[in-house]
Amino acid sequence: MLMIDDNLRASRQTAQQRPDLQISFEFFPPKTDAMEEKFWQSVHRLAPLKPRFVSVTYGAGGSTRERTLRMVSRIKAETGVDAAAHLTCVGATRNAVDAVVRGYMEAGINRIVALRGDPPEGVGQPFTPHPDGYQNAADLVAGLNRLGTFDITVAAYPERHPQSSDWRTEIDNLKRKIDAGADRAITQMFFTNADYLRYLERARAAGITAPIVPGIQPIHSFRQIASFAGRCGTTIPAWLAERFEGLDEDPETHALVASAVAAEQVTELLDEGVTEFHIYTHNRSPLALALARMLGRRPEVGAGS
């Protein structure tokens, strides 16, 4: 019988035994007053877990520019947690993007998640940069570093970006972004840990030493996540689909299975030596809180309220 010694498993260490563990949370800017209330409830529940930062996405083509800025500024002011603003360059001139960056600087935001963004017709369509715009994410990172001093995160794709023709193109592109001055990458969601671990190997073999933080997607709604996965190139393995089969009308069991699936994913990654995690929250706190617990994080009394 195979016995795994618990002492050898990082997931069996206490929080004190792994002080290097870091988490971050991702939110999207709420569209309505009701959504905004839920957003703040979640932020205030997750902030006391002392994330390294909380990030707020940038709607397709810059559609949430004002809201992204408002949310990151308030998160920082109200919770004391560092906030990162996402920024895309699709469909905008350099001057327009630079003006948004100056707005972030004026608001005291110096963490940016720098992205190219998707063409308005969808990720399946070819990308054409604005004639006076940044060409891609690597170009945007270089532009940011000309404008000021930022902590910059970029995107990485353990199953390759749908527009990367092969692994060489994928990894070369990540390297260009890091060489342009990015501090770390966060991955697209993935459900097969081996894909992430192979990606890490490929990146390290190409001389990329920056952290490549796994983006963990708790499955709040299997139907929604499966549909999004199809659009962004993430595979839904057959075993995962099977676990959620028939649960659309059974939210309680769905939530329990989602929690178990996400816990299994982070436990395996911890045991593989991963020390940094980025959690996609979809502006909800329960699964993110449970996952943070699995990673040894408990709220610090008095923080984030």
Q: Which residues lie closer than 8 Å to 130 by C-beta, 6 or more apart?
A: 89, 90, 91, 92, 93
Q: Which stretch binds ligand FAD (CB under 6 A): 143-151, 156-164, 193-201, 239-247?
A: 156-164
Nearer to ligand FAD, 155 or 261 (CB): 155
Active-site residue identified among 26, 159, 170, 276? 26
- Please state the separation of Cα 292 from the chain's center in Å: 15
Using the rule CB under 6 A, is 144 a contact of ligand FAD? no
Helices marked H in 57-184 — which ranges?
65-79, 94-106, 137-147, 167-179
Work out which of 86, 111, 220, 282 binds ligand FAD, going by CB under 6 A. 86
Using the rule CB under 6 A, is 115 a contact of ligand FAD? yes
Min dist CB 241 to ligand FAD, Å, is: 22
Helices marked H in the chain — which ranges?
33-46, 65-79, 94-106, 137-147, 167-179, 193-205, 222-232, 238-244, 251-271, 286-294
Min dist CB 278 to ligand FAD, Å, is: 7
DSSP 284: -
Cα gap 300→42, rounded to integer Å: 16
Using the rule CB under 6 A, is 217 a contact of ligand FAD? no
Q: In the range 22-81, which residues lie near ligand FAD by CB under 6 A? A: 57-58, 60
Of 49, 66, 60, 53, nearest in space to 92 by CA: 60
Nearer to ligand FAD, 173 or 265 (CB): 173
Min dist CB 190 to ligand FAD, Å, is: 10
Task: Decide if 26 is catalytic.
Answer: yes
Using the rule CB under 6 A, is 116 a contact of ligand FAD? yes
Min dist CB 298 to ligand FAD, Å, is: 26
Residues known to be catalytic: 26
